[in-house]
Amino acid sequence: MKFLQKYFLFLIGTALFFSCNKENKTAEAISKVQVDFEVVRFDRLFADASSNDISELKASYPYLFPKQYSDSVWEAKLTDTLQIELEDEVDKAFKSFDEETEGITSLFRHFKYYFPGFYAPKVITVISDVNYNDRVILADSLLLLGLDNYLGREHHFYAGLPNYVSKGLDKAYLTSNIASALAKKVNKYPRNRSFLSRMIYYGKELYLIDKLLPNSEDYQKVGYTREELEWSQINEEQIWRYFVEQELLYSTDSRLDRRFLDPAPFSKFGLELDSESPGRLGRYMGWQIVKAFMNKNPNITPVQLLSLPADDIFKKSNYKPKR
């Protein structure tokens, strides 16, 4: 018996050694990936501009000046009190953008490691009038960041917003929001209309973000608070039992998106625990299924994962919720 115990411990130790060694080699390879991109603090350029500078700014950044607006609109915006206050608050929060640039550089390196054809976009910071639905816009060779959406959940600009929205308006989520935008470019939305396929679609996205941001906290990746992630982990078995007992996995009821996948103040089980739960628990559960699958299939790359059918991932994951 003692021999078997020692042998079992030896096997575990050997597996851990090779796993750590593989991770170290991957991290070393990623650190050598070269990415070249420019960060333009357009929010500051506009804040420091005068009416005489508008023509030059439009020539340099035409995509930031919709043609239906005349120069007089932009000239008026230069002296608008709300615009000036937004610029001042952003300047306080992002006096230096060095830390954020370092995080974005690491993110781009990881993405290019897994997707070698990737070319890093030009990063342009803007004031978006707290347009939180478009806080990150990734379009071809441009990445626009609305920095006024990252001033902290308690900021007075967000006083009228629902709590489930304002909690994510913090710089702690900036890099994970960019990672999500990148992931959406390579992760195709499923044609299969089942709840399970949509869960695993988001699970793939979150697993890819795991790989792109290995040093970030899990709550940041999924857009939760620490407390919400802890609640999800504690109640994972109950959530899964509900999904199975209510026969939701293969349902094509589109209302399940609003209940468990779309941004919301809480998930909608129709139970007393609803008000305690975070929204988007279907995404969280999809993440756990994908992680279980990848743990059992370590030779499958993140790129290969993206092309696998949801049903295959689910069946081969042998997913068992945490107790």
pLDDT score of 38 more than 60: yes
Q: Does 120 lie in the same domain as 227?
A: no
78 and 203 housed in the same domain: no
72 and 201 in a single domain? The answer is no
Domain boundary residue, one of 157, 186, 215: 186
Domain boundary (160, 186, 212) is at 186
Do 199 and 180 lie in one domain? The reply is: no
Whether residues 259 and 163 share a domain: the answer is no
207 and 144 in a common domain: no
Distances (CA, A) of 183 to 52, 59, 186, 291, 300: 40, 31, 6, 16, 17
Closest CA to 111 of 98, 123, 120, 102: 120
pLDDT of residue 136: 98
Say whether both 179 and 283 belong to one domain.
no
Q: Categorize the per-residue pLDDT at 7 as very low, low, confident or very high, splitting at 50, 70 and 90.
A: low
* pLDDT higher than threshold 90 for residue 322: no
Q: Are residues 156 and 209 in the same domain?
A: no
Tell which of 152, 167, 186 closes a domain. 186
The pLDDT value given to residue 257 = 97
Contact 243, 271 (CB under 8 A): no
Residue 259 lies in a domain: yes
Comparing 8 with 26, which gets the higher pLDDT? 26
Q: Where are the alpha helices (DSSP H) in 94-194?
A: 98-114, 163-166, 174-186
- Read off the pLDDT of each residue in 248-277 and give the average, rounded to a whole number: 96
* Statement to judge: residues 45 and 182 lie in one domain: yes
Highest mean pLDDT among 7-16, 65-74, 103-112: 103-112
Would you say residue 22 lies in a domain? no
Query: Based on the domain organization, do 129 and 219 belong to the same domain?
Result: no
Contacts of 41 (CB under 8 A, 6+ apart): 97, 125
Residue 1 lies in a domain: no
Looking at the structure of the chain, the number of domains it has is 2
User: 277-292 burial by CB neighbour count: b if 16+ within 10 A, else e?
Assistant: bbbbbbbbbbbbbbbb
Look up the domain containing 122 and give its range.
39-186
Query: Does the pLDDT at position 62 exceed 70?
Result: yes
Within a domain: 310? yes
Mean per-residue pLDDT, 258-271: 96
